[in-house]
């Protein structure tokens, strides 16, 4: 394989980007980051490595940051990243670049693209302040709008300035990121499963953290949550709720992604190496 793309995606936006890039690049394998949760190290042995994932709380999702720590990277490997977000990427790509540098690699190109909102949570005052501080957010474009710009950079292994939000919102977001991620872990304590649950198990199958166990078919949450929303957004009954959900928010998943595309069942290492897409 010329290229490996590691992706994390809960509602499909990032998987859709990863798949479009893989198709356009050719000879590319795409691999789901949650499948590596139980691994101690991940050897990213390819000439070109891509990382595609959503922005969570102005930074990397916890599962992605942990994955980067496991990476074994050859200095000569060209690494690129595309992060999907609604409006504010903060310093996500700078944090990724720093993490890769600590591992002996580097981020050659980092793009932030606009995508539909996966979170159903109400915005709080901090969200609003950071949004107000970010003058660049209105200029954010979708992957579709930027594909002809991104593809040649990645294809030709060109360097591209790692993209950031405006300075103030980047700094503010970075300061709050760790605290926010920690609070996400136990947000599932307030998840309520209503009586429409038909005990199908989809939520448990799709949880990237293995954070859901079924008891008589109904989910119980184990407080190691990413707040990724996969369980909520893919539930056929929309039965999982949180008191802080926006009352007007509708259930969302990417129209080109099926739930079977996202099954995160963690695989043993031999299975991973035999798969073309997992």
Interface residues with ligand SF4 (CB under 6 A) are 188, 193, 197-203, 207-209, 211-212, 219, 221, 225-231, 235-237, 239-240
The reply on whether position 55 binds ligand FMN by CB under 6 A is yes
184 C-beta neighbours (distance < 10 Å), count: 17
Which residues are within 8 A (CB) of 170 and not within 5 positions of it... i.e. 6 or more apart?
Answer: 58, 90, 91, 94, 164
Which residues are within 8 A (CB) of 44 and not within 5 positions of it... i.e. 6 or more apart?
Answer: 4, 6, 71, 72, 73, 74, 77
- Tell the smallest beta-carbon distance from residue 7 to ligand FMN (Å): 8
- Tell the smallest beta-carbon distance from residue 55 to ligand SF4 (Å): 15
Strand intervals (E) in the chain: 3-7, 28-32, 42-43, 48-54, 71-72, 78-85, 109-114, 192-193, 212-215, 218-221, 240-241
- Tell the smallest beta-carbon distance from residue 265 to ligand FMN (Å): 18
Which residue do the tokens 């595609």 mark? Answer: 52
With 0-12 / 13-18 / 19 or more C-beta atoms within 10 angstroms meaning exposed / middle / buried, residue 222 is middle
Residue 197: name its binding partner from ligand FMN, ligand SF4, none (Cβ under 5 to 8 Å by kind). ligand SF4
Q: How many CA atoms within 13 Å lie on the side-chain side of 195?
A: 0
- Tell the smallest beta-carbon distance from residue 76 to ligand FMN (Å): 29
Residue 56: name its binding partner from ligand FMN, ligand SF4, none (Cβ under 5 to 8 Å by kind). ligand FMN
The reply on whether position 13 binds ligand FMN by CB under 6 A is yes
Q: By rule CB under 6 A, what string of x and - marks binding of each residue 198-237 to ligand FMN?
A: -----------------------------xxx--------
Q: Which of 3, 5, 9, 225 binds ligand FMN (CB under 6 A)?
A: 9
Q: By rule CB under 6 A, what string of x and - marks binding of each residue 83-122 to ligand FMN?
A: -xxxxx--------------------------x-xxx---
* Stretch of residues binding ligand FMN (CB under 6 A), selected from 28-36, 39-47, 82-90, 99-107: 82-90
Which residue do the tokens 């949450």 mark? Answer: 221
Residue 198: name its binding partner from ligand FMN, ligand SF4, none (Cβ under 5 to 8 Å by kind). ligand SF4
Report the side by side order of strands in the sheet with 48-54: 28-32, 3-7, 48-54, 78-85, 109-114
Inter-residue contact 38 to 66 (CB < 8 Å): no
- Tell the smallest beta-carbon distance from residue 198 to ligand SF4 (Å): 5
């Amino acid at each position: 394989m010329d290229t490996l793309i590691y992706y994390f995606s809960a509602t499909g936006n990032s998987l859709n980007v990863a798949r479009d890039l893989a198709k356009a690049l050719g000879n590319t394998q795409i691999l789901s980051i949650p499948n590596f949760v139980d691994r101690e190290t991940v050897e990213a042995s390819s000439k070109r490595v891509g990382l595609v994932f959503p922005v969570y709380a102005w930074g990397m999702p916890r599962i992605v940051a942990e994955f980067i720590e496991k990476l074994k990277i050859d200095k000569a490997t060209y690494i690129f990243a595309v992060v999907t977000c609604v409006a504010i990427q903060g310093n996500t790509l700078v944090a990724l670049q720093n993490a890769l540098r600590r591992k002996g690699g580097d981020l050659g190109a980092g793009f932030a693209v606009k995508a539909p909102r996966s979170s159903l949570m109400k915005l709080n005052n901090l969200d609003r302040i950071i949004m107000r501080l970010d003058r660049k957010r209105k200029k954010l474009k979708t992957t579709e709008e930027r594909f002809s710009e991104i593809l040649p950079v990645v294809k030709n292994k060109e360097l591209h300035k790692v993209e950031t939000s405006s300075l103030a919102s980047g700094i503010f977001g970075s300061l709050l990121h760790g605290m926010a991620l920690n609070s996400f872990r136990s947000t599932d304590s307030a998840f309520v499963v209503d009586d429409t649950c038909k005990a199908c198990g989809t939520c448990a199958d799709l949880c990237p953290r293995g954070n859901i166990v079924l008891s008589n078919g109904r989910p119980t949450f184990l407080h190691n949550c990413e707040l990724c929303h996969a369980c909520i957004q893919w539930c056929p009954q929309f039965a999982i709720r949180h008191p802080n959900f926006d009352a007007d928010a509708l259930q969302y998943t990417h129209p080109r992604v099926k739930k079977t595309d996202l099954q995160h069942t963690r695989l043993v290492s031999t299975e991973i190496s035999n798969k073309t897409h997992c």
